[in-house]
Amino acid sequence: MADLLAPFAGDGAAELADRLIARFGSLARALAASPAQLHAAAGGHEAACAAIAGARRLVEAALDEELVRAPVDGADPALHRYLRARLVAADTERLHVVYCDAARGYLADETVAAGDARRIEARARPVIERALALGAAGFLMAHNHPSGVCRPSADDIAATRQLAAIAEALELTLVDHLIVTRRSVFSMRDGGCL
């Protein structure tokens, strides 16, 4: 990391890299940090903070390009990379939804709920309302498990089945619900949980 920061932090690059790793634990978490968090950890290395923020925007733009070009599919490695970039650095559970048309073409995506380190209280109404507002035919949900355990809980399965039933009654398709961790992605559809 120090080599990457050297053009922006000069002789302080190694010390800055150590501070960022100590604060965030990994390069991925440093990239996902908010500008305020970066500035607090970097202490005066404004150019390095700007470079890190620029690198994050570059990575996000590349991942966005991959996402919008492919059908929304829970088995798509490009979608997995995109969701990991959006979710795994968070130390709280977050629910992210990708909306699609009848041909599973990408329409939009957004994080719709955040919880604590072990659970999330996600409501069905905002997800369904947004799908209808977009004219979506379906959606894929994903949430992270900061614990690193890439299996759905009993609550995850029950809530997903309930939302799938509501969606079906409104002629919407729940494409899949993915559990995302740093090391893997679990598909509830492929795992027989839907």
Over residues 3-60, the pLDDT tens digits come to 878 888 888 888 888 888 888 887 777 777 777 788 888 888 888 888 887 877 777 7
Residue 126 has pLDDT above 80, yes or no: yes
Amino acid 16: pLDDT? 85
pTM assigned to the model: 0.74
Joined together, the tokens standing for residue 70 give 């492919």
For residue 191, the one-letter residue type is: G
Domain residue extents for the chain: 2-63, 74-187
Segment 126-142 shows an average pLDDT of 97
The CA-CA-CA angle for residues 156, 94, 26, to 5°, reads: 120
- Per the prediction, the chain carries an average pLDDT of 88
23-33 per-residue burial string, b: 16 or more CB within 10 A, e: under 16? ebeeeebbbbb
Residues 74-187, CATH architecture? 3-Layer(aba) Sandwich (3.40)
Amino acid 85: pLDDT? 86
Amino acid 72: pLDDT? 94
Helix (H, G, I), strand (E, B) or coil at 101: coil
